[in-house]
């Protein structure tokens, strides 16, 4: 696929597919060859609640129903999965719309929260109209679950084999739910680390997963990643990269065990290490 710089946006945005193939020139050891390269696609995805647009995210166009539910839960738009009545996926010329029907009480709260905000929002903390709204803190985690070091190591090894988009493109993040014995029970991928975690949170909300599981993310552990994990009631977040200082402080205060720089034979525990045996 080849697109000119002045192509219309409807020709540039590839809709409703997770990957696309491009013909590229590969240079190696001083020689070149033409090959087909598989790239991850990012598509504008609009989240619309009861007919009102709330946010537009750049995301991978798969597991979108999970994304809608997980985003709604982790952003505090709804409090439980049953308050999201329906999700309709609508492909438009320049993106994908997720039409979410939520409980009237939650919609009234959403409108009040956004009453002074003009236009659409982006990712992360964008879309909040005050610092108080942006810095939403989770409930304290009371879980007494503990985890063996070997389970973390098994989970880290297993997640690599289940990252199908990453294997094809090398450009996506993954979030995985790992059982206490190290078995990876569920993986969601996306070009955005927050999106991958939202998709996983949404998928978990549809099932009855054991309370003593944990999450592995193939990214750094920012405030939002800690916030979303703790809001889902999960007591351990394992990241393969570094956390931020704010993430560590929030994890410490609200009872989340936070592990960073996780590799097969090493890791760093930043908070509540008593859960790791």
Q: Which of 38, 80, 100, 123 is catalytic?
A: 123
Residue 217 has pLDDT above 70, yes or no: yes
CA distance 59 to 41: 8
CA distance 255 to 174: 24
User: What residues does each domain of the chain span?
Assistant: 9-40, 43-134, 149-275
Confidence at residue 208, expressed as pLDDT on a 0 to 100 scale: 81
Confidence at residue 115, expressed as pLDDT on a 0 to 100 scale: 61
Residue 273 has pLDDT above 90, yes or no: yes
Question: What are 113's two structure tokens?
Answer: 């929260």
SS3 250: helix
Average pLDDT across the chain, whole number: 88
Phi–psi pair at 260, nearest 5 degrees: -125, 170
What global pTM score does this model have? Answer: 0.89
Tell me: the pLDDT tens digits for 33-79?
999 999 999 999 999 999 999 999 999 999 999 999 999 999 999 99
Question: What are 37's two structure tokens?
Answer: 């390269």
CA distance 5 to 24: 17
Task: Indicate the pLDDT class of residue 7, thresholds 50, 70 and 90.
Answer: low
| Element housing 105 (H / E) | helix 104-113
| % of the chain exceeding 90 in pLDDT | 75
CA distance 195 to 137: 19
Q: Decide yes or no: CATH 3.50.50.60 for domain 43-134.
A: no
Single out the residue of 68, 62, 23, 71 nearest to residue 43, CA to CA: 62
Instruction: Determine contact, residues 141/208, Cβ cutoff 8 Å.
Output: no
Tell me: the pLDDT tens digits for 255-265?
999 999 999 88
123 is catalytic: yes
Tell me: the pLDDT tens digits for 72-109?
999 999 999 999 999 999 999 889 999 999 999 999 99
Can you name the residues that pair with 252 across neighbouring β-strands?
none
CA distance 274 to 247: 18
Mean pLDDT score, 235-256: 96
Mean pLDDT score, 110-115: 80
Q: Which single residue is written with the structure tokens 């709260």?
A: 109
* Torsion angle of C-alpha atoms 117, 118, 119, 120, degrees rounded to 10: 0
Mean pLDDT score, 166-193: 96
Instruction: Determine contact, residues 199/190, Cβ cutoff 8 Å.
Output: yes
CA distance 269 to 8: 48
Residue 3 has pLDDT above 70, yes or no: no
| % of the chain exceeding 70 in pLDDT | 87
Question: CATH number for the 149-275 domain, one of 3.50.50.60, 3.40.50.20, 3.40.50.1220, 3.40.140.10?
Answer: 3.40.140.10
Mean pLDDT score, 174-202: 97
């Amino acid at each position: 696929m080849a697109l000119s710089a002045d192509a219309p946006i409807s020709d540039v945005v590839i809709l409703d597919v997770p990957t696309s193939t491009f013909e590229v020139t590969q240079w190696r050891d001083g020689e070149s060859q033409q090959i087909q390269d598989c790239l991850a696609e990012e598509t504008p995805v609009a989240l619309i609640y009861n007919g009102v647009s709330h946010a537009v995210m750049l995301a991978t166009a798969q597991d979108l129903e999970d994304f809608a539910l997980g985003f709604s839960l982790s952003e505090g738009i709804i409090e439980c999965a049953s308050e999201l009545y329906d999700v309709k996926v609508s492909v438009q010329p320049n993106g994908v719309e997720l039409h979410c029907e939520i409980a009237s009480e939650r919609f009234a709260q959403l409108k009040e929260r956004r009453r002074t905000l003009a236009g659409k929002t982006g990712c992360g903390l964008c879309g909040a109209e005050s610092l108080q709204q942006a810095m939403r803190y989770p409930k304290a985690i009371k879980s007494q679950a503990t985890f063996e070091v070997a389970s973390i190591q098994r989970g880290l090894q297993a997640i690599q084999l289940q990252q199908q988009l990453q294997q094809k493109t090398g450009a996506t993040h993954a979030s995985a739910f790992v059982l206490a014995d190290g078995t990876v029970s569920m993986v969601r991928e996306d070009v955005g680390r927050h999106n991958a975690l939202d998709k996983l949170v949404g998928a978990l909300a549809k099932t009855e997963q054991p309370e003593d599981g944990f999450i592995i993310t193939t990214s750094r552990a920012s405030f939002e990643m800690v916030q979303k994990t703790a809001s889902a009631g999960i007591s351990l977040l394992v990241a393969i990269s570094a956390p931020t200082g704010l993430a560590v402080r929030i994890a410490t205060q609200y009872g989340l065990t936070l592990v960073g720089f996780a590799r097969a034979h090493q890791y760093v525990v930043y908070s509540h290490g008593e859960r790791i045996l």
